Structure 1
Amino acid sequence: MTYFKTAIIDIGSNTIRLVLYTYDPLRGLKEVENIKSVTRLRNYLQVDNVMSEEGVQELEEVLLFFRDILNDYHIVDLRAIATAAIRQAQNSSEIIEHMWKNTGIKIELLSGEQEAYFGYFAVAHTLKTPSAITIDIGGGSTELTYFKDKELQCSHSFPFGSVSLKQQFIQGDTMTNEAGEKIYEFAKSNFETLLWLKGAQLPVIGIGGSARNMAKLDQRKKDYPISGIHQYEMTKEDFTIISNEVTSLTFEELKQLDGLSSDRADIIAPVIIVFQALMDVVGSETFQFSRKGLREGLVIDRILKDNPTAFNKYNVFERSTKFLAAEFDKPLEKTAHFVQLTEMAYFEVCKIGAFSYNAEDLHMLKQAARLFHIGEYIEVDAASQHTFYLLSNRSIDGISHGQRVRLALIASYKNKDDFSRYSEPFMEWFSKDEFKKMRDIGALLKFVYALDASKRNIVESIAMEQSGDNVKLKIYTKGNAMAEMYQANRQKKHLNRIFKGEVSIHFIEKEG
């Protein structure tokens, strides 16, 4: 599949969104625009579950607005999907026909099972977690899935969500303690009907806007040093603290709370109660967050139908670094030789005992080599600073936030002082030994980068020999390595920090 633009219109019970995406095989999938309208369609369902004329007109106005945007962006590839509000409406067929006639937009009505599946599909292809329970609380329904080793095992859709729970249990805009207890018991009793949930003792992964708000609230409370909520993780204790804070506030106080979208101020409390009920039933100690959900699942599924190798849920991190490197003008063909040299050097350092071989360390090192000093794309003289900021604050699929900082520290390595400066906000994240390992691995990477100075693949192999504390480094080349020789001697100090003794460098040009 070549480059293309596509759009998803997601007609939910609380909001209607238009999200525009681009995709190309080199740089991957990108969200380029996200426009929402808070329509609360669920509120237009009458006692007989017929959507009122007012609700139909509200939907039509939003779709006409979105159609104008699609025309301005010249996007013809569109998938418009509707979930609980339209699914639960007795006049859903009439609504869909009306929208096709009046807006030219064909709406696809998803079942609860389909909605759950595509949420799982996005999580499996963008998070590293191998097994988990997912929950996506919309305005009118709640979707749950259980996946094991990235394979879907069970799924279910409940016909209640944030807006319907508010309608059923809360008078006004502020949830009372009594209402909160009723919501908890209601959600818990529903969840307990699913035997695959009870005592699963797996992480719970939250999808959707309300889950995102929970993550943002926790990050605000902790003065979190990096951005992004994708694969952010909270403990049950963290969750309880945020829950107690939020459920104690009035509606007016919630509207002023940093990290909480004002349009969710009246529905965040019941959502948190539902999350807590699920964690209790599952027996989970960990709550994770996914920024990718239903819409991304639909787009990824579409791409995979045309190109079955475009995404692989079992090597999410590698795919993500591949796309990221290409975005900053370091495609695989440019970095392959450097990555190969880095792997050689790592094995040689392990062979003489300076490092203890660790498969995870090597994996992280190879990905860091792909992304080493990508900040050069912005400014060569400040490559290290830009690299650290980009990698530590960029959402990278397939790794936790701690691993993201680890990647950033290694791939941005310039010298010991800059490493210490970048590390300062994260002193509680890693142990002293972990910082030393990252610094040494970064120093090795910085030195190996010198062996590819001319970008001509001159260096073919590396060998290390140890005599006492001293190390003899033999570098075999297939041509004139003047540039590599100069840079290697300049950067030798980084190797000296890894080894106790002196490092001597010997370039050996192969004959023929």
Structure 2
Amino acid sequence: MTEQRIGIIDIGSNSIRLVVYERTAAGAHRVIDGSKRSARLSEQIDDTGSLPDHRIGDLIDMLNHFRLICAHHRTGQIRAVATAAIRNATNRNHILQRVESETGLAIELLSGEEEAGYGFLGMINSMEITDGFLIDIGGGSTEISLFRNRKLVQSVSFPFGCVSITRRFSLKGMLEDEQLGALEQMIEKAAQREAWLRQSPGLPLVGVGGTVRSLAKVHQASIKYPFDSFHNYPISHEAVDELFGALRPQPLEKRRKVAGLSKDRLDIIVPGVAILRKFARIIQASHYLICGSGLRDGLFFATRFPERPQLDDPLGFSVNNLAALHPEAPQQHVSQVNRAALQLFDALEPLHAFPARARLLIDTASTLFRIGASIDYYDYTKHTFYLMINSHIHGLSHRETLLCAAIASYKSKNRARQLAAVYRPMLDETDLLLIGRLGILLQLAIALDRSETQAIGRLVIEPQHGKLHLRAVRADGVLAIERKEVDAIGDDFKKIWGLAPILTLPDYR
């Protein structure tokens, strides 16, 4: 079998999750199945600190269900881990022995430091961020890590999370002033033992886990955010404080109506955000940044790439992975277009003041412009746009993802304007000009290999006197198709760049 499948089971304190990853024949990685069960294991611990036998039975039933899903997918490897709820249970050895004997799964009991390490790996492989703090608020523990230059410097696991805090300080999801004060005092006391938390002020606080994901969804719903993704989503202190102030006095019945808030988090969202806000103040964070990846993603990379799990270039990996998920695109043609687009950009950049990451945008767009053909060739630009904004292109902001998708699917200025109207206020007039310049540049690069034969071996590009001379120094044949295509987009290119593109062979100088 050419595909390789890995099942990751995360036995958390709030929920138990399964993710099935597949490596396709083309070498791409993707999630092909997933399942989640709310367990609230931290709530089930009795007065002796044990998980009762009937609750262990419920856990075993869930794990056997996940095993059946993995068997259905012919998963070659299952890796199951447990975190704080079982780690802190006084009968943890009994739990692990019973689970293994009744499911056949050997559960890895992660330490707090290991949990923080896998969470960091999942985050750092999905974001282009150099320095910051990472917080993972689970059901029974909270991990905080400091990273510098994309390396984990220090981490700590605190033995409290949104479920255990709710159980201790909250009545039916309500958090009164007195309880909030006691909760924050407890966090303050715990943080005092970790002096390093206060020694790097002004860094972003990156959040992973259900609490911060819910926070992002609620915030996006409240401002009618037009882009459907919470990964790499920034939120200010003021916005979090405002949401916290709005949610805290609401009874559970009223919270059910809050857009973006799932019903299994109604009671734990306020205590969870209270933990988040308190740590943000302790570390003096610049702002919050939401990450959609975490522990399970880190476990996948550590399992799939055990020798070198951390990526040097998350964006490059992500773009190449997305391209490999759509192998219908002729790879040699796409590579030729990518090379030509970058060469055109480098030749024209001195004529125009581009923003700092413009070359990265055209590089990404010219690698992915053809992926929509996997749905339908005749309207592939429309499908390319849809696939790009709904795929995980890690390392780009939401605005950059929209820009890349608009450049890759560019047809005309009017169509770009229609797209931008849907995503206001994320894209403005300056962005439309950039989409037009880079979009038509990509169209010219495509025209230069319209026969899809890579007939142009070497190209010399010279902008001068209102013309863009494209000299094919090394070429197979007369390039009749390419020359006709270049002529066809000549007027549109000249309107945007003020240069008329002319493709010539050495004989035509």
Distance in 2 separating the partners of 1:433 and 1:72:
50
Aligned in 2, Cα 1:36/1:159: closer, same or farther, shift over 3 Å?
same
8 Å CA contact retained: 1:440, 1:497: no
Aligned in 2, Cα 1:250/1:331: closer, same or farther, shift over 3 Å?
farther
Task: Give the partner amino acid of 2:396.
Answer: I
Distance in 1 separating the partners of 2:41 and 2:330:
45
Residues 1:23 and 2:30 aligned together? no
Residue-by-residue CA offset, 1:300-330 (whole Å, 9 max, x unaligned): 0111126x4xx65331111111111122224
**Which runs of 5 or more structure 2 residues have no equivalent in the other structure?**
none
Aligned in 2, Cα 1:25/1:76: closer, same or farther, shift over 3 Å?
closer
- Displacement after TM superposition at 1:385 (Å): 2.0
8 Å CA contact retained: 2:420, 2:427: no
8 Å CA contact retained: 1:348, 1:463: no
Residue-by-residue CA offset, 1:341-385 (whole Å, 9 max, x unaligned): 1122112223xx432466622122111110114222222332222
Percent identity (aligned):
28
Aligned in 2, Cα 1:504/1:33: closer, same or farther, shift over 3 Å?
closer
Match of 1:344 in 2: 343
Residue-by-residue CA offset, 1:235-254 (whole Å, 9 max, x unaligned): 22222222222213111112
TM-score by length of 2: 0.93
Match of 1:205 in 2: 206
Moved more, 314-323 or 488-497: 488-497
Q: Which secondary structure does the structure 2 equivalent of 1:152 belong to?
A: strand
Residue-by-residue CA offset, 1:415-455 (whole Å, 9 max, x unaligned): 11111111113443345334312321111111111111111
Map residues 28-427 of structure 1 onto 2, 5 A cutoff: 28-198=28-198, 199-305=200-306, 308=308, 313-329=311-327, 330=329, 333-350=332-349, 353-356=350-353, 360-427=357-424
Distance in 2 separating the partners of 1:196 and 1:52:
38
Residue-by-residue CA offset, 1:184-208 (whole Å, 9 max, x unaligned): 3322332343222215321111111
Residue-by-residue CA offset, 1:455-486 (whole Å, 9 max, x unaligned): 11112333444554444443443323121112
Residue-by-residue CA offset, 1:232-276 (whole Å, 9 max, x unaligned): 111222222222222131111122322111111110000011111
- Displacement after TM superposition at 1:19 (Å): 1.6
- Displacement after TM superposition at 1:9 (Å): 1.5
8 Å CA contact retained: 1:464, 1:471: yes
Q: Which secondary structure does the structure 1 equivalent of 2:382 belong to?
A: helix
8 Å CA contact retained: 2:486, 2:503: no
Task: Give the partner amino acid of 2:334.
Answer: T
Moved more, 373-382 or 281-290: 373-382
Distance in 1 separating the partners of 2:301 and 2:365:
26
Distance in 2 separating the partners of 1:267 and 1:180:
13
Moved more, 146-155 or 278-287: 278-287
Distance in 1 separating the partners of 2:501 and 2:298:
53
Distance in 2 separating the partners of 1:320 and 1:463:
31
- Displacement after TM superposition at 1:73 (Å): 2.5
8 Å CA contact retained: 1:458, 1:480: no
Residue-by-residue CA offset, 1:472-511 (whole Å, 9 max, x unaligned): 44344332312111211111123212333x5151421579
Aligned in 2, Cα 1:450/1:149: closer, same or farther, shift over 3 Å?
same
Match of 1:452 in 2: 449
Match of 1:481 among 479, 482, 487: 479
Aligned in 2, Cα 1:301/1:2: closer, same or farther, shift over 3 Å?
farther
- Displacement after TM superposition at 1:47 (Å): 2.0
TM-score by length of 1: 0.93
Moved more, 249-258 or 274-283: 249-258
Distance in 2 separating the partners of 1:334 and 1:373:
10
- Displacement after TM superposition at 1:86 (Å): 0.8
Distance in 2 separating the partners of 1:36 and 1:504:
55
Distance in 2 separating the partners of 1:41 and 1:195:
31
Q: Which secondary structure does the structure 1 equivalent of 2:65 belong to?
A: helix
Aligned in 2, Cα 1:223/1:393: closer, same or farther, shift over 3 Å?
farther
Aligned in 2, Cα 1:74/1:377: closer, same or farther, shift over 3 Å?
closer
Residue-by-residue CA offset, 1:28-59 (whole Å, 9 max, x unaligned): 33222221111211122122212222222221
State the number of aligned residues.
Answer: 505
Q: Which secondary structure does the structure 2 equivalent of 1:17 belong to?
A: strand
8 Å CA contact retained: 2:4, 2:23: yes
Q: Which secondary structure does the structure 1 equivalent of 2:344 belong to?
A: helix
Distance in 2 separating the partners of 1:160 and 1:450:
59
8 Å CA contact retained: 2:420, 2:428: no
**Which runs of 5 or more structure 1 residues have no equivalent in the other structure?**
none
Q: Which secondary structure does the structure 2 equivalent of 1:58 belong to?
A: helix
Residues 1:507 and 2:504 aligned together? yes
- Displacement after TM superposition at 1:26 (Å): 4.0
